[in-house]
Amino acid sequence: MDESVDAICGHTLVKNQKTNLLTKIQAFEYLISHQLFKAFEGVYDGVLCCPGCFSAYRKSAILLVLDEFERSLIFNYKVDYGEDRYLTALLLFNQKKVVYSDEAVAYTIVPQNLSSFIIQRKRWIKSWFVNTLYLFRVVGKKKMVYQLYFYLSFIFNLLITSSLPLFIYFIFTANWNFLFHGLYMILLYFIFILLKQGKIRLLMPLLFYLFTLLIYTWLVPLAIGNVSDHRWGRRAK
């Protein structure tokens, strides 16, 4: 690992992606998350989450934040979920270099049923929300492009809660503006897959967009509303 790098994560693939439609959608989500978002964040040495399933850290960087990590306090509030994102946030807060490698590849097993998926993502969303607020104080030291990405990502993930109600409203009022927005998002996913893999995949970008509407529009506010719930929940099966 480059001597200037303090933490690095690789590209995680879904080993059980062919199990059912849910695992296939998650495989697509992992692809977007790693090869698009983490790849972009890594260019600016600011990967926001080095996943626990496939990351490496420099010992000196870990020792620097170890006491804080063991306390697991953000704004004097106990945070005992999403340890990987919290550890990454501590490193970024201390101006450490956190990057992504597309060449390093590993496999993970994702939830195969909806209930396990929801339990997992509820933890992830709570961790994302709290740690993003924590990093608001230091992201201003990054380059302007990264700052814009950081703030817009946060706003977008909050606004997703209104997507499904707006979609229903526009359907009943025969206003197709929201439909055009959806087609625009699907087109962006399609172009990304075409450029990255050289494949034409129309169905999965569409399914992923619809899945986002149906699940995250209510799961995001549910998770944030239960941010003080420290029950871990059962592991994915």
Tell me the HSE value of 37 on the side-chain side, using a 13 A CA sphere: 15
DSSP 3-state assignment of 47? coil
Q: pLDDT digit string (tens) for 30-87?
A: 999 998 899 999 999 999 999 988 999 999 999 999 999 998 888 877 877 889 999 9
Q: pLDDT digit string (tens) for 83-109?
A: 999 999 999 999 999 999 999 999 999
Tell me if 103 is assigned to some domain.
Answer: yes
- Give the C-alpha separation, 225 to 161, whole Å: 12
Tell me if 1 is assigned to some domain.
Answer: no
User: What domain range includes position 62?
Assistant: 7-225
Triad 158, 54, 204: Cα angle to 5°:
55
Is pLDDT above 80 for 175? Answer: no
> Is the C-alpha dihedral spanning 141, 145, 151, 153 positive or negative?
negative
pTM exceeds 0.75, yes or no: yes
Given a contact cutoff of 8 angstroms between Cβ atoms, the answer to whether 201 and 106 are in contact is no
Mean pLDDT over 6-14 rounds to: 96
Cβ atoms within 10 Å, residue 142: 19
Number of domains in the chain: 1
Q: pLDDT digit string (tens) for 113-164?
A: 999 999 999 999 999 999 999 999 899 889 999 999 999 999 988 888 777 7
DSSP 3-state assignment of 150? helix
Environment class of residue 168 by beta-carbon count within 10 Å: exposed (0-12), middle (13-18) or buried (19+)? exposed
- Give the C-alpha separation, 52 to 81, whole Å: 12
Tell me if 237 is assigned to some domain.
Answer: no
Tell me if 168 is assigned to some domain.
Answer: yes
Identity at 156, one-letter amino acid code: F
Tell me if 234 is assigned to some domain.
Answer: no
Tell me if 232 is assigned to some domain.
Answer: no
The band of 235, judged by pLDDT with boundaries at 50, 70 and 90, is very low
